[in-house]
Amino acid sequence: MAKIKYPFLDLGQVNAPYAKELADALMRVLRSGRYIGGEEVDAFEEELARTIGCKYVVGCGNGMDALVFMLAAYKRRLGKPIDIIIPGNTYIASVLAAVHTGLKPIYADIDVKTLNMETSNLERYVTPDTRIIMTVHLYGRACFDKNLKDFASRHDLVVVEDNAQAIGAMVNGIHTGALGDAAAFSFYPTKNLGALGDAGAVTTNDKEIADCVRALGNYGSDRRYHNIYAEGRNSRLDPMQAAILRVKLPYLIHENTHRREVASIYEREITNPHIIKPTFVTDGSMVWHQYVIISDHRDELRQYLATNGVGTDIHYPTMPYHQPCMRTESGTCLPVCDSIEHKLLSLPISSCTSTSEAYEIAQIINNFRQ
Ligand SMILES: *Cc1c(COP(=O)(O)O)cnc(C)c1O
């Protein structure tokens, strides 16, 4: 196979521009003697709250735990049973968090234009136990509109966001993470704001939810040696990761701007009729965590691109409701999700793909099957 000239993602290269600042931040933590909680974590939580425009941020060990604690906090408030509406094409973590918390996922179909939840006909998913709807801003595209808001208020539903992929995106001037009642973030290294390891957070304006999430990630204790919940775990934001995220947060706008530039080149330059490009918007609601195209010849295209030195990935190869662990859930009928399941392909779009490389990749794509 040809050498990969255009890697899909090279995290070393993504973080290289920040090397000096990151090293300084890590030394600061080392010298502080404070290796759990403390100033770095407090400061990152405050800086993220200011960036997103929400009152409370609670750091967690990773995005999955952020989702679990967020849902567990609402379960404590709402009682059982709870059905939760979740888009059928999300990453498995959204679904596992619901199942882990004892919530029943009801999968919703998607809009083929946005690859996000279809919000115009959500009534069909409502059951007597529906209490929560989870919007997932998949691939970096905010999914939050009037339909969703009206639907949630009509049925008195809590709206939670899985904002692992869309930090920095905005809808009508409001950041993802501040659109619903609470949101879970992941700072997994590949995300638009990535740590050098695992990290996550919950954002909300609801103090009771924030306090509950904080306690659940710290042995269920609200203060030292005082345990209020018997379901707590240990999943706190690591100060090393907080210090790293503090370095990278101010550059997020720059990173997202670069992703938008690469996306606009793909949008303009890719003209191959075998490829459906993602819907392009310039309203700030998309931060291009992934640039996902649809092709009837996906596997052949992927092979062709690899042969021509272009690294690609697939997000995701199997829908959560088709995973072996989920197959017992019967009655799932998601024609749009089903129709694209084997056609998705993600092109390189991180800061390690330059704009001139994006032009070259577009030309290579245009020569496929032509
Ligand atoms: C990455 C991701 C998660 C999980 O985050 P981790 O930090 O890896 O646990 C959850 N949901 C979505 C949509 C993600 O992309």
∠ CA 154-160-164, nearest 5°, is 145
Q: Which atom of ligand 1 is closest in space to residue 91's alpha carbon?
A: 13
Q: Please tell me the distance between residue 222's alpha carbon and the centre of ligand 1 in angstroms.
A: 26
What integer pLDDT is reported at residue 137 of this predicted model? 98
Q: Which atom of ligand 1 is closest in space to residue 165's alpha carbon?
A: 15
Write out the DSSP string of 178-220.
SSSSEEEEE--TTSSS--SS--EEEEES-HHHHHHHHHHTBTT
Asked whether 63 lines ligand 1 (CB < 6 A), one says yes
Kindly give the confidence (pLDDT) of every residue in the chain, 370 residues in length, as a single tens digit, with 9 standing for 90 and above. 568 899 999 999 999 999 999 999 999 999 999 999 999 999 999 999 999 999 999 999 999 999 999 999 999 999 989 999 999 999 999 999 999 999 999 999 999 999 999 999 999 999 999 999 999 999 999 999 999 999 999 999 999 999 999 999 999 999 999 999 999 999 999 999 999 999 999 999 999 999 999 999 999 999 999 999 999 899 999 999 999 999 999 999 999 999 999 999 999 999 999 999 999 999 999 999 999 999 999 999 999 999 999 999 999 999 999 999 987 556 678 999 999 999 999 999 999 999 999 999 999 999 999 8
248 SS3 class:
helix
Q: Please tell me the distance between residue 2's alpha carbon and the centre of ligand 1 in angstroms.
A: 32
Asked whether 64 lines ligand 1 (CB < 6 A), one says yes
Cβ 278 vs Cβ 291: under 8 Å: yes
How far CA 349 is from CA of 279, 289, 321, in Å, comes to 15, 8, 28
Asked whether 200 lines ligand 1 (CB < 6 A), one says yes
Q: Please tell me the distance between residue 334's alpha carbon and the centre of ligand 1 in angstroms.
A: 22
Asked whether 238 lines ligand 1 (CB < 6 A), one says no
Residue 343: HSE in the Cβ half-sphere, 13 Å Cα cutoff: 17
Q: Please tell me the distance between residue 186's alpha carbon and the centre of ligand 1 in angstroms.
A: 5
Asked whether 69 lines ligand 1 (CB < 6 A), one says no
Q: Which atom of ligand 1 is closest in space to residue 94's alpha carbon?
A: 11
What integer pLDDT is reported at residue 330 of this predicted model? 60
Q: Which two tokens stand for residue 170?
A: 């905005």
Residue nearest to atom 5 of ligand 1 (CA): 63
Asked whether 89 lines ligand 1 (CB < 6 A), one says no
Asked whether 95 lines ligand 1 (CB < 6 A), one says no
Residue nearest to atom 7 of ligand 1 (CA): 63
Q: Which two tokens stand for residue 260?
A: 């938008």
Cβ 182 vs Cβ 70: under 8 Å: yes
Residue nearest to atom 15 of ligand 1 (CA): 164
